[in-house]
Amino acid sequence: MNESTALIFLSNLLPAFVYPVGSTILMLVVGGLLLARQYRRCALALALLALSWLWFSSTPFVADWLIGGLERRFPPVDLSSTPTADVAIVLGGALAEPTPPRIEIELTNESSRILQAARLYRAGKVKSVLVVGGNLPWEPNADPEAEFMRQLLVEWGVPNQAIELGGRSRNTYENALEARKLRETTRFSSALLVTSATHMPRAMAVFRHAGIPVTASSVHVTVVDHPTTIFDFVPNVAALSKATTALKERIGILIYRCRGYL
C-alpha cells in the first residue's frame, strides 16, 4: 500500500470514530472499561454522555442545523438563471455501481448531479460535460465510476462525443487535480461545478485553490423550509444520517485546510 492509498484509507476510517454512531460506541466501550476498574461514577457519566450525544445528533432539528449551514452557502439556482459556461464538471460518488448482485447501475440520492449535468447540456448552458470520479482502492469494479456516469449521461441525452472522462481521482482533492490536468487538453475557460449542496463549499474551495474557474451548480438539497413541530426533536435514522454527512463535510474541510488543499 503506497502513501497515497494509505492516506485515502485512513481518511475514510478514522473519522468514523467521530461520527455519532462510532463515537457513541467508543464512549460506551471506554465506559465499560472504567466500570470494570470500579470507576462507576465515571462510567455512568460517560454512558449518559454517549446516549445524550446519540439522541442529540439523531434529531431532525439538530441535523438540519448542522447540514443547513453548509447548504446555504451555495443554494441551487434555477436553470433559466444559471450562467453559461464551457463545461459542466460533475463529481463522482453519484451512483451505485453494478456490483453483484446488482446487474445494472442504480440511482442514489446523489444521482441528481448527473441529471443536472444532462439538463445543463440540453438547455445549452454548457458545451460539454467533464466527469471526474474513480474507485476507492477497496472497491471491486474494474471500470471507474466516471464510465458508469457517462453511460447515464448518454441515456439522458448528452452525446458521447460531448463527454470527457477522468476516472483516476478518489476524493475531492484528486477530482480537482484531474480536472486541472484535463483542462490542458480541453482548454475550457469557465465551468459549472455540479455536486450536492452539502459538499459544494469544500468542492468550490478546492477547485478554486487549484486554479479552476468554477461557478456552483448545486443539487440534492436536504434541508427545506417547514414549520417546527415536536417531531423535529424526536430521534430518527434519517436525521442521524444527515448529521453524519454534515460532520463528514465539516471534518473534511478542516483536514483539507490543514493539508493546504483549500
Q: Is residue 224 part of a domain?
A: no
Residues 201 and 92 in one domain: yes
| Separation between Cα atoms, residue 29 and residue 47, nearest integer Å | 9
**Number of folded domains in the chain?**
2
Q: Judge whether 191 lies within some domain.
A: yes
- Tell me, yes or no, whether 194 and 88 share the same domain: yes
Q: Which three cell numbers stand for residue 28?
A: 460506551
Q: Confirm whether 182 is domain-assigned.
A: yes
Decide if 229 is inside a domain.
no
Any domain includes 227:
no
Q: What per-residue confidence (pLDDT) applies to 146?
A: 93
Give the residue numbers spanning the domain of 110.
79-219
pLDDT digits (tens, 9 = 90+) for 179-225: 999 998 888 999 999 999 999 999 999 999 999 999 999 999 999 99
Residues 67, 107 within the same domain = no
Domain annotation covers residue 228: no
Shared domain for 127 and 177, answered yes or no, is: yes
Reported pTM: 0.90
Could you tell me the CATH number of the domain that includes residue 208? 3.40.50.620
Alpha-carbon span 262 to 247, nearest angstrom = 18
Cα distance between residue 97 and residue 149, in whole Å: 9
- Same domain for 67 and 91, yes or no, is no
Distance CA 121, CA 129 (A): 7
The total of other beta-carbon atoms located within 10 Å of residue 149's CB is 29
Q: Is 85 in the same domain as 49?
A: no
67 and 85 housed in the same domain: no
85 with 215, same domain: the answer is yes
Assigned domain for 226 exists: no
149 and 169 assigned to the same domain: yes
Does one domain contain both 215 and 101?
Answer: yes
Q: Give me the phi and psi of 142, to 5 degrees please.
A: -75, -35
Instruction: Please say whether the beta carbons of 117 and 194 come within 8 A.
Output: yes
Mark whether 41 and 143 lie in a shared domain: no
Low-confidence ranges of the chain (pLDDT < 50): 1, 3
Q: Does the residue 17 lie in any domain?
A: yes
Sign of torsion over alpha carbons 252, 50, 67, 132: positive
Looking at the fold, whether 97 and 127 belong to one and the same domain comes out as yes
